[in-house]
Chains A and B, each alone.
Chain A
Amino acid sequence: MATTDALREGAFPSRPRAPQSGPWARHLELLWELVRRDVRARYRGSVLGIGWTLLNPLVFMLVYALVFGSLLKVQGPSGKPYLVFLLSGLLAWTFFQQALVMAASSIIANAGVVRKVAFPWMLLTVSTVTAALVNFLISLVLLVPFLIASHSPVGLPLLALPGLIVVTFGLCLGLGLMLAAGSVYFRDLQYIINLATMVWFYLTPVIWPLSRYQGFFGHGKLGVLAHVIVYANPMTWVVVSFQDIFVFNRWPQHWHGLIYTTLLAAALIWFGVLVFRRLRRRFAEEI
């Protein structure tokens, strides 16, 4: 170890100092390392590896198709293949749900690091949500065979996909930051979010098209309330837009919903960062 010996002689000035990345480059590099870790750690030691990313939504799709499509005779949009309809919504939903669940434990799961190293801990949450995004992008491959098999054309509207994904990512990140920081203080949040997303799923038009939700829950007060919730649910507009692109091969139709969702995502990120900054002061003590 010649270099170490040189150091020992006090030859420090002649040794070049390690370069320091600028603040942004630094955060990006760290984020990159963390995302790599999160994506890889997820499948570490599993035989199927990345296959789980595909198998998971695939099995869910088949189960839902069997239960709702075949047994309960739920109809997709008329004249459109139910499987493609189901899968396009399900993939978007899975991204959202996984991102939230993973984000909720992102700080707690890294307790060892948080207790010992100071760095923008927020990146831990950002990286889990990004890792969920990577999984989601991989899982989009699943759509290909179904689109081909059902002769569903997909064209220019695909260009709306990146913007849509950014908005979804924003939703996940905003909520994820709050959940991640909150979970440090209230561990129950991790389990609550699991249950909450289960209920949330049925208030998102993944299994039934949005049009079927009209009067779906009856016309009583409860029905109206559920109706309002479905419309206020930002994931409704994400899922519906996915279906527009992949099922109908058309540009997303619900502009109002999308603008609302975009604004909400921005607000959630703003608020999420605020909450996170406020709560992180005692992370190292409470974790």
Chain B
Amino acid sequence: MPEAPIVVEELSKRFRIYHQRSETLKQALVDRRRSRYEEFWAVRDAQFEVPEGETFGIIGANGSGKSTLLKCIAGILVPDRGRVSVRGRLASLLEVGAGFHPDYSGRENIFLNGAILGLPRRYINSVLDEIIGFAELEQFIDNPVRNYSSGMYTRLGFSIAIHMDPDVLLIDEVLAVGDEAFQRRCMDHIDSMRQEGRTLVFVSHAAETVRNLCDRCLWLEHGRERMLGPTGEVVDGYLEDVNLREMAALSSSGHAATGPGWMGVRITSVTVTGGAGHEGLTSTGESLRVKIGYEAPSGLRRARFRVSFHPAEGPELASVQTDDREMDERLLPSRGEVALEIPELPFLDGVYGTKVEIEDIASGRAYVTLDRPQSFRVHGPGRREQGVALVGHQWVLPALDPSAVSA
């Protein structure tokens, strides 16, 4: 049995962080002692094999060593310890675009890249039109690539890499660039390459992409293997971990109380409780209760309470406020609690933050605003629903045809 296309054995890679980089000879000679650097291990003891035809994912937070590991596999970085071996023709797409020469036209870069990958010129000639077509660069192919937009750059890089007929293809986050249509075509192509039995390594922090593409997955954390196994398990573990972190970050970044705002109004506490009574934890379709404690020296008359929800990153998802007519007639005591109850929370799996505002109905002026006092974790129902909100739905399938079943 031949060795797997990619074998990584106890691979470690160390980087130097220069305190005072001696980039010039003078510095190097004069400050010989001061030109000290610290070393840090970007990848530590990575060990795995990627068998032929497998699509292997590497996930992890930014700076976890994913790209470093990929560059070691690509042969660009030399590991300080351990070994990596790659069998067959390797093409890689690292960051944006392959290595292009800016003054060279797209066409010339295609030939240059082909030569770098060891393909004869006549072969490149035979796939030239396909490469240009896939990259949608017919009009610009004879312009220097320095004039290309980053999207064009990426399209060309991707198109070259897949048309070079690689046995092993390494892809690093590149699909994040480029428009939706191109991304989809890339995905299609990657799919077809998988079916053809090529070996793919895919680095991403987009967990869902990895879930859709990869057979097995390595989760790196601070350069070390945190988990290695079937993609589903690893991605689930990774997402859970990301959510926990997000929650911690959201909670610690906000305060659960404010100082006195306009008219001395202040928010004294905000607590978010889930259906089972757990603070900061609930499930899709269960209830959520946001309890706001406030203080207003002269009481609150004609006040409007508003609570809005948003994901860790991104725009507001929903916001709800008190009924102005009802609040118009009401004088709230100088100290008290107002609670928002959501009987069936529609949010899907993820971590969400809250924002609490109290304002004057007549003028719209805010008494006090509290951003991200508390976040909460929502456990989603399953994998059939994606996005942020649960949509009530039902699938209508064609009637059972007995002959089709027996066939």
Contacts and interface: CB of A to CB of B under 8 A. Distances in A.
Interface of A: 1, 3-4, 7-10, 12-13, 17-21, 25-26, 29-30, 32-34, 37, 41, 44, 110, 112-119, 186-189, 192, 281-282, 284-285
Given A19-B120, A37-B101, A116-B98, A186 B25 contact: yes
Interface string B104-115: 100010011101
Contacts of B71: 284
A34 B195 CA distance: 35
Interface stretch (B74-82, B199-207, B265-273, B334-342): B74-82
Interface of A is mostly: helix
Contact of B24 (A7, A41, A186): A186
B24 A187 contact: yes
A111 B123 CA distance: 27
A18 B164 contact: yes
B299 interface: no
B277 interface: no
B136 to A, nearest CB: 11
B25 A188 contact: yes
B189 A114 contact: no
A189 B28 CA distance: 12
Interface stretch (B89-97, B369-377, B391-399): B89-97
B385 interface: no
B324 interface: no
A12 B195 contact: yes
A1 B188 CA distance: 14
A13 B198 CA distance: 11
A46 B33 CA distance: 47
A30 B24 contact: no
Contact of A284 (B76, B100, B102, B111): B76
B116 A10 contact: no
Contacts of A20: 89, 118-119
A18 B76 contact: no
B384 interface: no
A-B CB proximity, top 8 nearest: A12-B196, A118-B75, A113-B99, A18-B165, A116-B99, A10-B195, A33-B115, A188-B25
Contacts of A119: 116-117
Contacts of B24: 186-188
A240 to B, nearest CB: 32
Contact of A37 (B92, B104, B117): B104
Interface string B132-148: 01100000000000000
Given A18-B164, A26-B118, A113-B116, 20 more contacts: A7-B192, A7-B196, A8-B188, A12-B196, A13-B196, A17-B165, A18-B165, A26-B115, A29-B121, A30-B118, A32-B115, A34-B115, A41-B101, A41-B104, A112-B101, A117-B92, A117-B98, A118-B74, A188-B24, A188-B26
A216 B71 CA distance: 56
Nearest to A111: B99
A147 B273 CA distance: 97
Contacts of B401: none
Interface string B34-76: 0000000000000000000000000000000000000100111
A51 B100 CA distance: 28
A3 B195 contact: no
Contacts of A115: 76, 94, 99
A21 B118 contact: yes
Contacts of B94: 115-116
30 contacts: A1-B134, A4-B189, A8-B189, A8-B191, A8-B192, A12-B195, A12-B197, A13-B196, A18-B119, A18-B123, A19-B119, A21-B118, A21-B120, A26-B118, A30-B118, A33-B111, A33-B115, A37-B101, A37-B108, A41-B104, A113-B101, A116-B76, A116-B95, A117-B74, A117-B99, A117-B116, A186-B25, A186-B28, A188-B25, A192-B25
A177 B92 CA distance: 27
B130 interface: yes
B103 interface: yes
A17 B198 CA distance: 12
B195 A4 contact: no
A11 B25 CA distance: 57
Contacts of A113: 99-101, 116
Contact of B103 (A1, A19, A25, A41): A41
Nearest to A118: B75
Contact of B133 (A1, A17, A29, A33): A1
A41 B117 CA distance: 21
B23 interface: yes
A44 B102 CA distance: 12
B112 A34 contact: yes
Contacts of B104: 37, 41
B262 interface: no
B130 A4 contact: yes
Contacts of A12: 192, 195-197
A30 B116 contact: yes
A13 to B, nearest CB: 8
Contacts of B74: 117-118
Interface string B252-267: 0000000000000000
Contacts of B123: 18-19
B25 A3 contact: no
